């Protein structure tokens, strides 16, 4: 989808998820796509996709953005492969709601720095850094859409499984 540069972002709530090995940080935008706020943290494991699908439905999200960890050079390693696999599973669970992969370089470090500047000690930061990182990811995606006029990220394709496969 191409918007004209300078157009406002598409109307509707977006969710951003920062999938870690233990926790999944979740953030949401306001309906106008101007503000990103930490929402919650979901425990990674059994039922996590169902919990995210429920959040997307409750928030009436128009899309879900999943953080894609890349190295400083832009290369993808094992963590990116895991994120892609997670995004495919989530996309299958929430279809036809679009799921997009968005570069998440520096989101966690930026979130830690912001929380530290806000006076949170390391123990308090651990409880909120995942959803704060998701908010940083979402802010960057919304800014990218405003700046370029393009929907951010890479659309995750859900392939239909064949019977017996």
Q: Look at residue 88 and tell me whether its pLDDT is greater than 80.
A: yes
Q: Is 160 part of a structural domain of the chain?
A: no
First CA to last CA distance, the chain: 33
Q: Is 8 part of a structural domain of the chain?
A: no
User: Average pLDDT in the 11-32 region?
Assistant: 95
For the chain, what is the domain count?
A: 1
Q: What is the pTM of this model?
A: 0.81
Q: Is 156 part of a structural domain of the chain?
A: no
Q: Is 28 part of a structural domain of the chain?
A: yes
Q: Is 1 part of a structural domain of the chain?
A: no
Confidence of residue 162 (pLDDT cuts 50, 70, 90): very low
Q: Is 91 part of a structural domain of the chain?
A: yes
Q: Is 110 part of a structural domain of the chain?
A: yes
Q: Is 158 part of a structural domain of the chain?
A: no
DSSP string, 14-48: EEEEEE-SSEEEEEEE-TTS--EEEEEEEESSTTH
Q: What is the CATH number of the domain that holds 133?
A: 3.30.420.140
State the pLDDT at residue 147: 87
Question: In which domain, by residue range, is 65 found?
Answer: 13-151
DSSP 153: S
Q: How many beta carbons lie within 10 A of that of residue 164, not counting itself?
A: 4
């Amino acid at each position: 989808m191409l918007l004209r540069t300078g157009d406002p972002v598409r109307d509707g709530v977006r969710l951003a998820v920062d999938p870690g090995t233990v926790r999944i940080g979740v953030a949401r935008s306001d309906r106008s796509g101007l503000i990103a706020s930490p929402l919650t943290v979901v425990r990674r494991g059994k039922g996590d996709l169902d919990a995210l699908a429920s959040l997307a439905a409750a928030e009436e999200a128009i899309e879900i953005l999943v953080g894609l960890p890349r190295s400083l050079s832009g290369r993808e390693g094992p963590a990116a492969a895991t994120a892609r696999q997670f995004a495919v599973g989530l996309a299958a669970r929430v279809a036809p709601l679009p799921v997009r992969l968005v570069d998440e370089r520096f989101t966690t470090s930026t979130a830690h720095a912001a929380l530290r500047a806000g006076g949170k000690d390391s123990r308090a930061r651990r409880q909120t850094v995942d959803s704060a990182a998701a908010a940083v990811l979402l802010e960057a995606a919304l800014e990218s859409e405003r700046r370029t006029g393009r929907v951010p990220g890479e659309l995750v394709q859900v392939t239909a499984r064949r019977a017996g496969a």
